[in-house]
Amino acid sequence: MAGPLAGVRVVELAGIGPGPFAGMLLADLGAEIIRVDRAADLGGDELRALAHAVIDRGRRSIAVDLKQPAGREVVLALAERADVIIEGFRPGVAERLGVGPEDVAARNPRLVYGRMTGWGQSGPYAHLAGHDLNYIAAAGALALGRGADGVPVPPENVLGDFGGGSLYLVTGILAALLHARETGRGQVVDAAIVDGAASLMAMHHAMINTGVIKRNPMDGGAPYYRVYRTADDRFLAVAAMEPQFWAELLDGLGLADRELPDRDDPANWPELGELFAEIIRGRPLADWLAAFEGRDACVTAVCTPGEAPHDPHLAARRAYLPAGADGAGWQPAPAPRLSVTEPELPGPPPRIGQHTDEVLAELGIDADALRAAGVVG
């Protein structure tokens, strides 16, 4: 199947990180994505190409100089035929280039304009530089995960860029698409990573506000929700929060008949954690996996990215697929699964400007003339 978004046309103004990942998600669901790359990047930026070797999949690419009027016209011509445009510039840059929301709405009032930024289009930080770590720090999300020394630990850039950023941009775009189809009117989706990270804190704020928890049990401090080192320097993830899972955990650790301190008192967590750590580091990972096989103890191995595709469950679900025709490396399969319009895996990432002539021909624009004028690559 082509996917549930078959027929949806998206113009993606090239960026890095969360914007392209949002494009990947839309492409995975069947949308047609045309990425507008900078003509100046033609044949270069190998590091970016390697870093985006998966999230840039499923597009066509044209290389355009947006600073030239004729280049701007190419983007506006694409916008006329599109349903969605995605950009990740700092606030005001798209407007200065002549491809901002008002510019494209004048050509296509049904267009959904998705904006991906860290701080959003307004507010005192809007024009400041920032990265994932800054956004989740300001939103209160970084403080949730702390190391043994009490210092917050950065969770890579999954929580901010891709969780609070890309997923919320895609959600907003899909909602705005439904509205546009009902009303004929497009709108701007102001997707700020800091907003999404704050939204992801909903459950934690509820627990804090109502006093359900005095201390967060999911930050690695609780002995029943922690990662432990094994004898062979591997790691075991333990998440036995509920009483029935706790009982299975104790049985698997050989502690079922031992009187232990109250696990619900945070004052006892260091003692219990040290006990579990001592027991678990006494045996290799394979032994522990065998000991907990079939048990509802919420105990799993910590897989490396290279091992995850071979995990029996993920392999059975084909959660990872080969990254290239030669079978080298892996890439995540499209998610989530759909029962009727299950999408196929999109094609490989394009080279910058790979489809310039093809796309311009579809627009009825003379590529050779623009190339001679330095407008396209």
Active-site residue set: 131, 161
Q: Residue 320 corresponds to which amino acid?
A: Y
> Hey, what are 114's tokens?
């998705």
> Hey, what are 264's tokens?
């619900």
> Hey, what are 324's tokens?
């290239």
DSSP assignments along 315-366, one per residue: HHHT-EEESSTT--SEEEPPSS--SSSPPPPP-PPPPTTTTHHHHHHHHT--
Q: How far apart are CA 98 and CA 67, in angstroms?
A: 9
Q: How far apart are CA 349 and CA 54, in angstroms?
A: 7
Which is nearest to 291 in space by CA: 256, 257, 325? 256
Q: How far apart are CA 230 and CA 140, in angstroms?
A: 32
> Which residues, at least 6 apart from 244, have a Cβ–Cβ distance to it below 8 Å?
296
Residue 34 has, within 13 A of its CA and on its CB side, a CA count of 27
Given a contact cutoff of 8 angstroms between Cβ atoms, the answer to whether 91 and 100 are in contact is no
Q: How far apart are CA 61 and CA 36, in angstroms?
A: 6
Q: How far apart are CA 370 and CA 368, in angstroms?
A: 5
Q: How far apart are CA 324 and CA 328, in angstroms?
A: 6
Ordered alpha helix ranges (H), the chain: 18-28, 46-51, 69-81, 93-97, 101-107, 132-138, 167-183, 193-199, 202-210, 243-252, 269-280, 285-291, 312-317, 356-363, 367-372
CA 351 vs. chain centroid, Å, equals: 22
